[in-house]
Structure 1
């Protein structure tokens, strides 16, 4: 006997309640509770069932020493930037979630990747729930894509998708997007918490049992996070965010979760008329429009995963017109700005309490490592004193609350990247100078405190 009852589910966090509430107790959002019909009755096959005929998943515990490993190499695409972000290529049986703003280029990226994998002899199934077959064909012609191994399917019913995967047995599957796919046995609307959760779980079962790598496109909310329950990001193996301004041509692919590699990797792409092209040297892109001789501008060598990237940090310090001075930052943690300004005021003697501070990382990059502290402090001091830094200086170091400059990791790679781009001096922590010599043609200046760094950079 099937019984029906209703429940209210928050569309942000998945919190369930038997009655409607204006504010969700789970995430604190307002007007996110939506009524859904729950069907109770005989137990149906769950999405995590692993006792299906032909399943290769384990049905009993095994000793870890007795588990046999398959030495299958990762599948590489023609985009080295994507391979780096994925941790060295696509892993068989993995479930990858790609999120981004509308129109940022998610479908374009995955269609290009599908073509590249198909041209290498792999069978690829591209499932579009948002576009018809003709619309997908128009996009493929614009990108110059044509392959016999690339299959296109327009469907949103998960059972039809599952039957197609069973019959075609592809090596790769792309779902565009998970918010349009629905499970017939779930009564809620497509895109709801229940549908997204059940559909993702079923796709995960298919990928793990058959060894198929599945890419899922996910929509994002106005806050920038992937729409649907937070459980979605915990279920998948890899979560990638495709960032960038629609009015600019550059796109950043960043990994925020990766079970097969580093979560600090970043890939840079440029959107052109015939698709996305990877940017092999992003440091030149971020520094090409830098103003020489401008106060408040410094260059820092930041590590993005395994690759050093040189970016420009800009600061603007001006007298405040209000009772409380403003502290604004773009691309860095806004809490780091008042902390470093307090260090400059206490340890160096700069009167910054009545100054507004605006900081920005040029190029739309987000930096969060401690090695950028010294460059931020020098930028603030440069703008406050109205003394420009040398355009051939690169500044690296972590700043402590007592004003000391602390050691940073991978200093050799940072300095080599600065030397490759023509920088003549690198101001770095003194403790990083021991045990190695820098490349020829570049001068290393070791500093132990913020005061020494300002003396070296600004001549104070």
Structure 2
């Protein structure tokens, strides 16, 4: 019998190496390779004749009738919004987020509300004892919720218990990195264990029609720990974002086989747990008094929901010869450098001898290129010390030529601004206006400079 070959698997990216090395060649992480006792699997094509012996499958056309899956509300509207409408029977959901961000709190609240509807709910904690979960539930006012609770890490024990008790409509596993499968060797949290444990749990959910929610740890760069195949195994991937020092939390769908990935749920961490924020714009807009230079308002779009956020800029003149610093919080630093270059090259503004700081208020993170015009307005205002009127919003994409280009859903952004009392919008040329708010159009960024300077 041939001696089984050893292999080493990266615990971050799942890359396989025939020998141990200090650094993974794929992801570049140090000391992440761990020996995998699974051995080498013989390919199916080497053992079987691919021309026969298989089961004949049925091929269907695209015009076959399709029924939308029935959904069960979690009782939390913002969570339902992010998931595409609620829980789907037999679906698997992976929720990731930083430690202490509130994943367990939110899922405990959701599990209690689903159980209150008369459905069978099981909450399995692999990180805390049952008494610790009970204490948290009492703090949240959920001590009398009719859900079933256990502290366990063995996947075999969990599935055997649920199978004997008739299954569950909702199963919450907190967290998948603590689960252990006895089908393979390895410590909990390793790539092979996470993959095997998730596979068994997902198979159980599909066979019994159970809505499965897995909590996943994240790495230092914000990605969900474990093999990337874990995200492919589940139907929905949710990312719980936010800073622990800030009150708000954003639940964003990164993948959803039963709905869109363009909706978000917004929560605020309160003493009584996670509370919904039906109007996020109020949360991200600071108290506005007298106009202050260096601030502008941008109507971001998250799915079908406009969210108004405040962009803050600060410039500090330095002594001759000092190296200026550029810092951006909540926005791409590379895009900030591009906007500064356009303002210098196309408008004659000099930022070379000034430090530039850009911040999105409330810890919100912007990826929408439509924020270019609002960022440029805040930078111009900070440099010239000319405040932007409080009743004004701005949006538009800036090209390297200095042109201000149109963006999607301009009407929706203007309507949300008008609803919150804003009276004027600085928009790209050719943008259709909306009732209740006047529009000032800009074809290029030089016209924006003239507007702020009052030329």
Instruction: Give 1:174-323 correspondences, 5 Å limit.
Output: 174-290=172-288, 292-320=290-318
SS of the aligned residue for 2:172 comes to strand
Aligned mates of 2:70, 2:2 — CA distance in 1: 48
Q: CA deviation at 1:3?
A: 7.1
Report the alpha carbon displacement of residue 214 of structure 1 after superposing the two structures with TM: 0.5
Aligned equivalent of 1:103: 100
- The 3 A distance-change label for structure 1 pair 330 and 290 is farther
List per-residue Cα deviations over 1:313-368 (Å, max 9, x = no partner). 11112234565432221111111111111111111111223332211111111111
- The answer on whether the counterparts of 1:9 and 1:35 sit within 8 Å (CA) in structure 2 is yes
Match of 2:385 in 1: 386
The TM-score with structure 1 as length reference comes to 0.90
Which range is displaced more, 125-134 or 297-306? 125-134
- Give the direction of change, closer, same or farther, for the CA distance of 1:100–1:80 in structure 2 (3 Å limit): same
SS in 2 for 1:308: strand
When the two structures are aligned, how many residues end up with a matched partner? 442
Instruction: Give unpaired runs (5+ residues) of structure 1.
Output: 44-57
Q: Please show how residues 141-160 of structure 1 align to structure 2 within 5 Å.
A: 141-146=138-143, 149-160=146-157
Aligned to 2:365: 366
CA distance in 1, matches of 2:380, 2:251: 33
Q: Distance in 1 between matches of 2:427 and 2:80?
A: 32
CA contact (8 A) 1:2 1:39 kept: no
Q: Give the superposition deviation at 1:158.
A: 0.9
Change in 2 beyond 3 A, CA 1:2/1:238: farther
Matches within 5 A, 1:331-410: 331-410=330-409
Question: Equivalent residue for 1:15?
Answer: 15
Report which stretch shifted further, 248-257 or 196-205.
248-257
Displacement of 1:213 in angstroms is 1.1
Tell me how far 1:147 sits from its aligned partner. 5.5
Distance in 1, Cα, partners of 2:145 & 2:355:
60
5 Å-filtered alignment, 1:419-434, equals: 419-433=418-432
**Preserved CA contact (<8 Å) 1:326 1:356:** yes
Matches within 5 A, 1:46-125: 60-64=57-61, 69-125=66-122
Q: How many Å separate the matches in 1 of 2:369 and 2:98?
A: 29
Question: What SS does the aligned partner of 2:440 have?
Answer: strand
Q: Is the 8 Å Cα contact of residues 119 and 147 (structure 1) preserved in structure 2?
A: no
Contact 1:115/1:146 (8 A) holds in 2: no
C-alpha distance 42-17 of structure 1, shift in aligned 2 (>3 A): closer
Q: Which stretch shifts more, 186-195 or 218-227?
A: 218-227
1:444 is the counterpart of 2:439: yes
Change (3 A) 1:309 1:386: same
C-alpha RMSD of the superposition: 2.3
Q: Is the 8 A contact 1:125 1:174 kept in 2?
A: yes
Alpha-carbon distance change, 124 to 88 in structure 1, aligned in 2, over 3 angstroms: same
C-alpha deviation, 1:65, in angstroms: 5.9
**Conserved in 1, the CA contact under 8 Å of 2:81 and 2:265?**
yes
Match of 2:30 in 1: 30
**Structure 1 pair 160/39, CA: closer, same or farther in 2 (3 Å)?**
farther
Determine whether 1:129 maps to 2:123: no
TM-score by length of 2: 0.91
Deviation of the 1:291 alpha carbon: 5.9
C-alpha deviation, 1:401, in angstroms: 1.4
User: Residue 130 of structure 2 contacts residue 151 of structure 2 at CA under 8 Å; is this kept in 1?
Assistant: yes
| Alpha-carbon distance between aligned partners in 1 of 2:444 and 2:141, rounded to the nearest angstrom | 56
How far apart, CA to CA, are the structure 1 residues paired with 2:144 and 2:62?
43
Task: Spell out, residue by residue over 1:355-384, the C-alpha distance to the aligned partner (whole angstroms, 9 max, x if none).
Answer: 322111111111111111100111111111
Aligned with residue 454 of structure 1, among 443, 449, 452: 449
Hey, what's the Cα distance between the residues in 1 that align with 2:307 and 2:301?
6
TM-aligned CA distance change 1:329 to 1:220, over 3 Å: same
2:79·2:86 contact (CA, 8 Å) conserved in 1?
A: yes
SS in 1 for 2:327: strand
1:247–1:65 distance in 2 versus 1, CA, 3 Å: closer
